[in-house]
């Protein structure tokens, strides 16, 4: 089975989810061990990317936003005790060779470039369309996993950008990226999640069902009251009819019986 850029990226995201769970559960997570684990994981993914033609070129671009994601989780998103140590030596500088940690801005610049490349590849029906799609998928998964960068203080803009990226993905890619979200969102998306249209439809259906139940209960109560009133009115009529019928029966009896 062919390994894809997205397959490699998912392993990074799953590691980060597990890392955050360990911290949240109060498990001691050593700085040196964490750094060694991440470097070993990225090294293994680099090695695997060389095993298939053309995969390394795509992976070398895809791991950049993942490094930005790792740094943001270690420094900002996850409440562990070694934030400041990681901030003093971010992977963006030690691994990517950046002079300054500018991933908060560079992420969005590079994502816009990836979207443009995808648009051109689709328009010209190029054979590398699928790899372009997978690169955009990596950016979207990084966003959905909690990366905010320059939009850390403007969540509306962050959600808008995330929705914009998602809208550019083909349907099959949208479906595939959603498979990761229940686990990722549980640990990383805290603020007012950006519900997809399917979730909005579920909410509407629930509301409609509740309204229908209230309507039926109200209608039944009114109907029961009306039937009760009709029965109450009918009782005197039944009594009167019985009183009239009794003498008539007596009068119709033959004499001597």
pLDDT tens-digit map of 177-234: 877 665 444 444 443 334 344 444 444 445 445 555 544 555 555 555 654 555 555 5
| Distance separating alpha carbons of residues 235 and 82, to the nearest angstrom | 84
Q: What is the pLDDT of residue 196?
A: 42
Please state the pTM of the whole predicted model: 0.70
What is the CB-side half-sphere exposure of residue 163 using CA atoms within 13 A? 11
pLDDT tens-digit map of 60-113: 999 999 999 999 999 999 999 999 999 999 999 999 999 999 999 999 999 999
Q: What is the pLDDT of residue 181?
A: 61
Instruction: State which H helix or E strand residue 12 sits in.
Output: helix 5-24
CATH of domain 5-194: 1.25.40
Q: Look-up: residue for tokens 């949240």?
A: 24
Taking only Cα atoms into account, the Rg of the chain, rounded to an integer number of angstroms, comes to 34
Q: What is the pLDDT of residue 173?
A: 86
pLDDT tens-digit map of 131-155: 999 999 999 999 999 999 999 999 9
Q: What is the pLDDT of residue 233?
A: 56
pLDDT at 125 over 50: yes
CB 190 within 8 A of CB 19: no
pLDDT at 17 over 70: yes
Cα angle for residues 188, 158, 184 (degrees, 5° grid): 20
Q: What is the pLDDT of residue 168?
A: 93
Q: Quickly state the pLDDT bin for 55 (edges 50, 70, 90).
A: very high
Instruction: State which H helix or E strand residue 116 sits in.
Output: helix 103-123
Select the more confidently predicted residue: 196 or 24. Answer: 24
């Amino acid at each position: 089975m062919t390994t894809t850029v997205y397959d490699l990226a998912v392993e990074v995201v799953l590691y980060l989810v597990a890392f955050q769970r360990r911290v949240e559960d109060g498990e001691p997570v050593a700085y040196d061990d964490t750094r060694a684990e991440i470097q070993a994981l990225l090294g293994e993914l680099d090695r695997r990317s060389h095993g298939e033609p053309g995969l390394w070129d795509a992976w070398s671009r895809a791991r950049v936003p993942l490094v930005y994601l790792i740094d943001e989780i270690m420094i900002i998103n996850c409440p562990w005790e070694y934030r400041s140590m990681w901030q003093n030596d971010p992977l963006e500088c030690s691994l990517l060779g950046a002079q300054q940690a500018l991933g908060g801005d560079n992420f969005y610049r590079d994502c816009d470039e990836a979207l443009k490349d995808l648009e051109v590849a689709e328009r010209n029906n190029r054979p590398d369309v699928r790899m372009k799609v997978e690169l955009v998928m990596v950016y979207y998964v990084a966003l959905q996993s909690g990366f905010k960068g320059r939009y850390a203080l403007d969540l509306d803009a962050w959600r808008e950008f995330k929705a914009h990226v998602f809208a550019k993905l083909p349907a099959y890619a949208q479906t595939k990226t959603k498979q990761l979200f229940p686990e990722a969102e549980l640990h990383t998306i805290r603020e007012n999640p950006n519900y997809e249209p399917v979730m909005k439809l579920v909410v509407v259906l629930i509301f409609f069902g509740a309204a229908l139940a209230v309507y039926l209960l109200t209608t039944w109560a009114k109907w029961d009251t009306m039937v009760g009133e009709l029965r109450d009115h009918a009782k005197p009529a039944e009594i009167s009819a019985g009183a009239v019928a009794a003498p008539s029966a007596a009068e119709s009896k033959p004499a001597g019986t």
